[in-house]
Amino acid sequence: METPLRSMIKFCTDRKTNTDISLLYSNRNEDEIPFYDDLMQMQRANPQLLVG
């Protein structure tokens, strides 16, 4: 499930779409979040993306 969401977020970030995106994860540790580094990088590049 994470791969399609990551792909959609990457598409919106790469295309600089005017789309608000909120992705909420429930994990015990940050290191358990799939694609954590990619998501943090995209969040820095996309002010409309919130990963929490």
HSE-CB of 9 using CA atoms within 13 angstroms: 26
Cα(first)–Cα(last) distance of the chain, in Å? 17
Per-residue pLDDT reduced to its tens digit, 19-48: 999 998 888 888 888 888 999 999 999 999
Per-residue pLDDT reduced to its tens digit, 11-22: 999 999 999 999
Q: Which two tokens stand for residue 12?
A: 């919106």
Could you tell me the pTM of the whole model?
0.82
Hey, which residues does 49 pair with through a beta bridge? 21
Q: Which two tokens stand for residue 26?
A: 């429930």
